[in-house]
Homo-oligomer: A and B are copies of this chain.
Amino acid sequence: MVIVMKHNATAEEIGGMVQHIEAMGFRAHLSQGEERAIIGVIGNERPIDPEHFELFPGVERAIRILHPFKLASRDFHPEDSVVRINGVSVGGNQVIVMAGPCSVESREQLLETAAAVKAAGAHVLRGGAFKPRTSPYAFQGLGLKGLELLREARDQFHLPIVTEVVSPQDVTLVAQYADILQIGARNMQNFALLAAVGEMQKPVLLKRGLMSTIEELLMAAEYILSHGNQRVILCERGIRTFETATRNTFDINAIPVLKSLTHLPVMADPSHGTGKWELVTPVARAAVAAGADGIIVEVHPNPALALSDGPQSLKPANFAQLVADVRRVAEAIGRAV
């Protein structure tokens, strides 16, 4: 932490700040500039909120020096983490493709989609049984019935399953069916839920909140890691900005930024990141070109009949083309699909 004193801070205020820092168990390091004094706070600053210091007389602001996350940081874990799920490795050289419908709607819809994405080369099947929806009047998912259908598709097509969990009390149930527990964007700071999945021994796919910074995403991962679950996969899925031409703004920069800050695998969701099926393939190609360890894509046999997210779902034939495109881009940068 560095504390910047005000231009007109008195010697007494500066001395008081130094005393307070030392009383907290830190060492203080005073540096007198031409216009302002600054005080370095030496020690593990992570549990301290920088704004704490701004309450003291004569203080202008306090600036965090260390990243607030530690378990997620490359500082202490420089090599890439690889998350292994039933033979699929996320975070290695291979670019992983997860695909399937937004919501599980029926046995027929799910099995048809699973067959198609398997044939096209997907490694993991996605599908929602518990759906967080903005409107109370919209389809909320099949719940347990959806989980059972996912289990059936998993067994028939030998595809691991990723599905969302939305409430702490459902975590044990969902973990009985899912190979990967998904935390959706709107729950990225549902700390009770993060703690609950942190207690499980199942991989977690943690999606960035649409209003969350990269640092907050890493702090959410830190919640899960600090509860003992080390198998966390991050996912960029678009953020909210002033631009309204697309549902979200896919933050392509976040991919190389995350790869530099953390050892955790980083995936990309071009379906939510754009909100329009025509944009999914170019943005999927871009995400892989930028270094994503995988993509997760919504596919539906008949998007016009989908009960959710139809507009951003690909038809099976378009998805097969996407996989072919992404494979060529992956190879161009020395990776495989």
Does A128 sit within 8 A of B, measured CB to CB?
Answer: no
With A29-B31, A32-B42, A169-B169 given, can you name 4 additional A-B contacts, CB distance below 8 Å?
A: A241-B242, A249-B251, A257-B279, A331-B332
Does A138 sit within 8 A of B, measured CB to CB?
Answer: yes
List 21 interface pairs A-B (beta carbons < 8 Å), by A numbering. A4-B65, A29-B31, A31-B40, A31-B42, A51-B310, A55-B311, A63-B63, A134-B219, A135-B219, A136-B219, A136-B226, A166-B191, A167-B167, A167-B192, A187-B190, A211-B211, A211-B242, A239-B243, A243-B253, A253-B274, A253-B279
User: Contacting A290 at CB < 8 Å: which of B209, B255, B286?
Assistant: B286
**Complex Cα–Cα for A110 and B241 (A):** 37
User: Contacting A36 at CB < 8 Å: which of B65, B250, B260?
Assistant: B65
Residues 235-277 of A contacting B (Cβ, < 8 Å): 239-246, 249-257, 260, 273-277
Q: A142: shortest Cβ distance to chain B, in Å? A: 16
Q: A285: shortest Cβ distance to chain B, in Å? A: 4
Does A25 sit within 8 A of B, measured CB to CB?
Answer: no
CB contacts (< 8 Å) of A256 on chain B: these are 278-279, 282-283
**Complex Cα–Cα for A303 and B286 (A):** 27
List 6 tightest A-B contacts by C-beta distance, closest first. A211-B211, A51-B311, A289-B289, A286-B286, A285-B289, A328-B332
Q: A189: shortest Cβ distance to chain B, in Å? A: 4
**Complex Cα–Cα for A136 and B46 (A):** 10
Majority SS at the chain A contact face: mixed
**Complex Cα–Cα for A132 and B63 (A):** 23
User: Contacting A310 at CB < 8 Å: which of B34, B52, B249?
Assistant: B52
**Complex Cα–Cα for A132 and B245 (A):** 24
**B219 and A245 contact, CB distance less than 8 A:** no
**A34 and B44 contact, CB distance less than 8 A:** yes
Contact with B along A113-147 (1 / 0, CB 8 A): 00000000000000000001111111000000000
**A135 and B290 contact, CB distance less than 8 A:** no
Does A35 sit within 8 A of B, measured CB to CB?
Answer: yes
Q: A305: shortest Cβ distance to chain B, in Å? A: 9
Known: A66-B36, A239-B249. A222 touches B325 (CB 8 A): no
CB contacts (< 8 Å) of A192 on chain B: these are 166-167
Q: Select from chain B the residue with minimum beta-carbon distance to A134.
A: B219
CB contacts (< 8 Å) of A34 on chain B: these are 42-44
Known: A42-B34, A167-B192, A168-B167. A55 touches B310 (CB 8 A): yes
